[in-house]
A and B are shown apart, each in its own frame.
Chain A
Amino acid sequence: MDDVYEAPDGGYRLRRLAQGRIWVAVSFGAPIDDRLAALTSGRFALRDAGPRAWLIVDDDIRPFAEAEKALAPEGALVDISHGRARYEISGPGARAKLATGIAVDMSPVAFAEGAACETMFNQIGVHLTRTGADRFEILTGLSFAESLWRELMS
Chain B
Amino acid sequence: MTSYRLPAGGRVARGESLGFHFDGRPYAGHPGDTLASALLANGVRLMGRSFKYHRPRGVLTAGSAEPNALVTIGEGGRREPNARATMVELSDGLIATSQNRWPSLALDLGAVNGLLSPFLAAGFYYKTFMGPARAWERLYEPLIRRAAGLGRAGEDSDPDAYEKTWAHCDLLIVGAGPAGLAAALTAARAGAETILVDEGAEPGGALLYETALIGGKSTDETLADMLAELAALPNCRLLSRTTALAWYDDDVFAAVERVRKAPGGPAERLWRIVAKRALLATGAEERPLVFGGNDRPGVMLAEAGLTYARRYGVAVGRRVAVFTAHEGGLRTAKALAASGVEIVETLDARRGARVVSASGGRGLVDCEIEDGGRRRRLQVDALLMSGGYAPRIHLACQRGGRPRWSEAHSAFLPPDDGLPFVCATTLADALDEGAARGAALVGEIGRKAAPAAFGAIDGDWTPSTDKPLWRVPGSRGKAFVDFQNDVQADDIALAAREGYDHVELAKRYTTNGMATDQGKLSNLNAIGLLAEARGVSPAEVGATTFRPFYTPVSFGALAGPHRGPHFQPVRRSPLDGWARRRGAVFVEAGLWMRASYFPRAGETHWRETVNREALAVRGDVGLCDVSTLGKIEIVGPDAGLLLDRVYCNGFAKLPVGRARYGLMLREDGFIFDDGTTSRLDDQRYVMTTTTAAAADVLRHLEFCTQVHWPELKVRVVSVTDSWAQMALAGPRSRALLQAICDADLSNQAFPHMSARAVTLLGWRVAARLFRLSYSGELAYEIATPAGEGELVAEALCAAGASPYGLEAMGVLRIEKGHVTHNEINGTVTPGDLGMGRMVSSTKADFIGRRMLAREGLQAPDRPRLVGLLPFAPQAPLRAGAHVLREGDEARLENDQGHITSSCYSPHLNSHIALTLVTRGEARHGETVQVWNALKNEYARARIVAPVFVDPAQERLHG
Contact check, B787 vs A19: say whether CB atoms are below 8 A apart.
Answer: yes
Q: Smallest CB-CB separation from A76: which chain B residue?
A: B635
Pick from A78, A83, A105: contact of B274, CB below 8 A: A105
Q: Smallest CB-CB separation from B787: which chain A residue?
A: A82
Complex alpha-carbon distance, A67 and B372, angstroms = 97
Complex alpha-carbon distance, A33 and B549, angstroms = 46
If A73-B637, A82-B722, A105-B274 touch, whether A28 touches B164 (CB-CB below 8 Å) is no
Q: Identify which of residues 100-124 in chain A touch chain B, using a CB-to-CB cut-off of 8 Å.
A: 100-103, 105, 107, 110, 122-124
Contact check, B719 vs A80: say whether CB atoms are below 8 A apart.
Answer: yes
Contacts of B800 in A (CB 8 A): none
Complex alpha-carbon distance, A26 and B164, angstroms = 35
Complex alpha-carbon distance, A73 and B638, angstroms = 12
Contacts of B787 in A (CB 8 A): 19, 82
Among listed A38-46, A86-94, A130-138, A142-150, interface-contacting one? A142-150
Contacts of A27 in B (CB 8 A): 715
Q: Identify which of residues 702-721 in chain B touch chain A, using a CB-to-CB cut-off of 8 Å.
A: 713-715, 717, 719-721
If A143-B573, A150-B566 touch, whether A28 touches B274 (CB-CB below 8 Å) is no
Contacts of A79 in B (CB 8 A): 722
Q: Identify which of residues 754-794 in chain B touch chain A, using a CB-to-CB cut-off of 8 Å.
A: 785-788
Q: Does B602 contact A (CB under 8 A)?
A: no
**B274, B569, B572, B713, most chain A CB atoms within 10 A:** B569
Q: Identify which of residues 620-649 in chain B touch chain A, using a CB-to-CB cut-off of 8 Å.
A: 628, 633, 635-637
If A26-B635, A28-B713, A28-B714 touch, whether A78 touches B165 (CB-CB below 8 Å) is no
Contact check, A83 vs B165: say whether CB atoms are below 8 A apart.
Answer: no
Contact check, B570 vs A142: say whether CB atoms are below 8 A apart.
Answer: no
Q: Does B334 contact A (CB under 8 A)?
A: no
Contact check, B722 vs A80: say whether CB atoms are below 8 A apart.
Answer: yes
Chain B 18-54 against A: per-residue CB contact (8 Å), 1 yes, 0 no?
0000000000000000000000000000000000000
If A24-B717, A28-B713, A28-B715 touch, whether A76 touches B636 (CB-CB below 8 Å) is yes
Complex alpha-carbon distance, A124 and B717, angstroms = 17
Contact check, B193 vs A107: say whether CB atoms are below 8 A apart.
Answer: yes
Shortest beta-carbon distance from B248 to chain A in Å = 12
Contact check, B570 vs A100: say whether CB atoms are below 8 A apart.
Answer: no
Contact check, A151 vs B570: say whether CB atoms are below 8 A apart.
Answer: no
If A28-B637, A142-B786 touch, whether A151 touches B166 (CB-CB below 8 Å) is no
Pick from B274, B571, B714, B721: contact of A103, CB below 8 A: B274
Contacts of B628 in A (CB 8 A): 143
**B562, B719, B722, B723, most chain A CB atoms within 10 A:** B722
Q: Smallest CB-CB separation from A141: which chain B residue?
A: B721
Contact check, B168 vs A142: say whether CB atoms are below 8 A apart.
Answer: no
Q: Does A99 contact B (CB under 8 A)?
A: yes
Pick from B193, B714, B721: contact of A83, CB below 8 A: B721
Contacts of B163 in A (CB 8 A): 100
Shortest beta-carbon distance from A142 to chain B in Å = 4
Q: Does A84 contact B (CB under 8 A)?
A: yes
Q: Does A53 contact B (CB under 8 A)?
A: yes
Shortest beta-carbon distance from A58 to chain B in Å = 17
Q: Does B167 contact A (CB under 8 A)?
A: yes
Complex alpha-carbon distance, A116 and B636, angstroms = 25
Contact check, A83 vs B786: say whether CB atoms are below 8 A apart.
Answer: yes
Contact check, B713 vs A100: say whether CB atoms are below 8 A apart.
Answer: no
Q: Does B438 contact A (CB under 8 A)?
A: no
Contacts of B165 in A (CB 8 A): 96, 99-100
Contact check, A143 vs B274: say whether CB atoms are below 8 A apart.
Answer: no
Pick from B164, B566, B572, B722: contact of A100, CB below 8 A: B164
Q: Does A29 contact B (CB under 8 A)?
A: yes
**A76, A81, A141, most chain B CB atoms within 10 A:** A76
Contact check, B592 vs A78: say whether CB atoms are below 8 A apart.
Answer: no
Q: Does B406 contact A (CB under 8 A)?
A: no
Contact check, B571 vs A147: say whether CB atoms are below 8 A apart.
Answer: yes
Q: Smallest CB-CB separation from B712: which chain A residue?
A: A28
**A79, A102, A143, most chain B CB atoms within 10 A:** A143
Q: Does B946 contact A (CB under 8 A)?
A: no
Contact check, A82 vs B637: say whether CB atoms are below 8 A apart.
Answer: no
Complex alpha-carbon distance, A99 and B273, angstroms = 11
Contact check, A146 vs B572: say whether CB atoms are below 8 A apart.
Answer: yes
If A99-B165, A105-B274, A110-B168 touch, whether A76 touches B715 (CB-CB below 8 Å) is yes
Q: Does B205 contact A (CB under 8 A)?
A: no
Contact check, B722 vs A83: say whether CB atoms are below 8 A apart.
Answer: yes
Contacts of B713 in A (CB 8 A): 28-29
Q: Identify which of residues 149-174 in chain B touch chain A, using a CB-to-CB cut-off of 8 Å.
A: 163-168
If A28-B636, A99-B166, A148-B569 touch, whether A82 touches B786 (CB-CB below 8 Å) is yes
Q: List 7 A-B contacts (CB under 8 A).
A: A28-B713, A81-B722, A82-B786, A100-B164, A143-B571, A143-B572, A146-B572
List the interface of chain B (C-beta within 8 A of A). 163-168, 193, 272, 274, 561-562, 566, 568-574, 592, 628, 633, 635-637, 683-684, 713-715, 717, 719-723, 785-788
